[in-house]
Amino acid sequence: MYIYDSVQKTKLKFEPIKAGKATLYVCGPTVYDDAHLGHARSALSFDLLTRTLNASGYEVTFIRNVTDVDDKIIAKMKQTGKSLHEITDFYTKRYLEEMDTLGVLRPTISPKATESIDAMEDMISTLISKGYAYQISNGDVYFDISKDKLYGSLSKKVNDDTISRIEHISEKKNSKDFALWKACDINENVCFDTKFGRGRPGWHIECSAMIAKHTQGTDEYSIDIHGGGADLLFPHHENEAAQSRCATGHALAKYWMHNGFVQVDGEKMSKSLGNSFFLKDALKAYDGEILRFYLTSIHYRNDFNFNETDLLQSKKRLDKLYRLKKRLLNTISSTVNSEFKQTLLNAMKDDLNISVALSVIDEMIAKSNEALDSNPNDKNLKKEIAGNIEFINMLLGFGAKEPFVYFQLGVNEALITQIETLIERRSEAKKQKDFALADQIRNQLNIMDINIMDTANGTVWEKIS
């Protein structure tokens, strides 16, 4: 397994800190609003990583946190009059359901910030006692970046204070010092009691604390891989790394991975621009598997330009897999072809090279179709192809549906009856050699976005696009 490390900026051989095991921590959502396409892409990127590590024989521990206490949630409370848990429970549930729809495997552990206060308290206390953190007069606790010689080693953003837009608080020792703990304001009821006062966590501390709480680690590293969106490298991951390093005396993660951004129709999607594309809206328009296929079809580190044209183009590629599967009806799968399995897995083991992986699949599809053309009744052949498709599903998370279900997505019962009636009438016409009528009916179906194909087993149909 090779992984591109976004700190060293090079591809590295993955050598786990503990033989045979892989521990992965990914920054999860702050649950104050619906998930957008960027959340989906991040989750999908690391889903592919988890599946690839699993298929490569590693025992994977995958941790993804839920940030359920935060300024944005507090803002939402004020705005809606709802309680913290009403908001966070609602969006957490929704997030998980949407990720399920995309075929994202659930994490091994998904800790919540509000349930990890004890671990944060421990870590902050340690940082204070070791002299890495200090408390100011209003009760806030800050991390002192000048005490950490390695601060900036992740993002290489140390000496730049020319246009620092970080809020300036006069009592902070350095402008880049960041809040570990925010003292309770009078009006806020989202506070927790700790040794250093009543308050709530700063943004970065939860990840470090959760990792400390849920993982064993070694003398050198806490976990193998830490992942998240490209925007998190600075300041979030830089700060996490600093806290953990100073509190534990060793590095937080051996490898850092960051997925690229999603743009919509060529424009940056962001909270401030107000053009976020919510996953729930995308899922209304497109099936979860089709979205998954599209969003994973481009390498995770590249920027992704989401648009409908490309989505429909990518769907055609998935169609081919299902057309092959359609030829295997009632076939019980046997084992995957070992050469195919190795080639496909090797592509993914090369820093998740999905493009090569998809080309391996395309080649398998073409060869299988060719073989089936000459030996349509070869049971063993069919079993092996079915096994191949099953392996694809396990590794990449698509191809699990029944092909007839897949090709009839978005067609209701009434329409199905209508389509089948038309196809019957056309078959009659064909029997009578009334090709003019048969072609007319086919045209009618085409206008309804229905494609038909005459096969040895009768006429079958597909919904187009």
Partner RNA sequence: GGUGCCAUCGCCAAGCGGUAAGGCCGCAGCCUGCAAAGCUGCUAUCCCCGGUUCAAAUCCGGGUGGCACCUCCA
Ranges within 235-274 binding RNA (CB under 7 A): 235-236, 259-263, 268-272
Q: In the range 398-417, which residues lie near RNA by CB under 7 A? A: none
Question: How far apart are the C-alpha atoms of 20 and 147, rounded to whole Å?
Answer: 36
In terms of CB distance, is 17 or 113 closer to RNA? 113
**Binding of RNA at residue 182 (CB under 7 A)?**
no
Q: In the range 275-334, which residues lie near RNA by CB under 7 A? A: 297-299, 302-305, 309-310, 313-314, 316-317, 319-320, 323
Q: In the range 332-361, which residues lie near RNA by CB under 7 A? A: 350-351, 353, 355-356, 358-359
Residues 43-72, one symbol each (x = binds RNA by CB under 7 A, - = not), give -----------------------------x
**Binding of RNA at residue 234 (CB under 7 A)?**
yes
**Binding of RNA at residue 370 (CB under 7 A)?**
yes
Interacting span for RNA (CB under 7 A) from 34-42, 47-55, 83-91, 100-108? 34-42
Q: In the range 83-142, which residues lie near RNA by CB under 7 A? A: none
Interacting span for RNA (CB under 7 A) from 129-137, 162-170, 207-215, 283-291? 162-170
Smallest gap from residue 364 Cβ to RNA (A): 10
User: Considering Cα of 340, then 47, then 277, then 226, what sign does the dihedral take?
Assistant: negative
Question: How far apart are the C-alpha atoms of 157 and 151, rounded to whole Å?
Answer: 9
Instruction: Report H helices in 178-287.
Output: 205-214, 238-248, 279-285
HSE (side-chain half, CA atoms, 13 Å) at 411: 21
Phi and psi at 330, nearest 5°, equal 65, 20
**How many residues bind RNA, per CB under 7 A?**
84
Question: How far apart are the C-alpha atoms of 305 and 314, rounded to whole Å?
Answer: 13
Is the separation of the CB atoms in 108 and 141 below 8 Å?
no
Q: In the range 138-157, which residues lie near RNA by CB under 7 A? A: 155-157
Q: In the range 433-462, which residues lie near RNA by CB under 7 A? A: 435, 438-439, 442, 451-455
Smallest gap from residue 195 Cβ to RNA (A): 26
In terms of CB distance, is 109 or 125 closer to RNA? 109
**Binding of RNA at residue 365 (CB under 7 A)?**
yes
Kindly state the helix (H) or strand (E) to which residue 428 belongs, with its residue range. Answer: helix 413-431
Cα Rg of the chain, angstroms? 27
Residues 6 or more apart whose CB falls under 8 angstroms from that of 43 comprise 26, 64, 99, 102, 104
Which letter, b or e, does each residue of 109-147 get, where b requires 16 or more Cβ atoms within 10 Å of its Cβ?
Answer: eebbbbebbebbbbbbbbbbeeebbbbbeeebbbbbbeb
In terms of CB distance, is 41 or 200 closer to RNA? 41
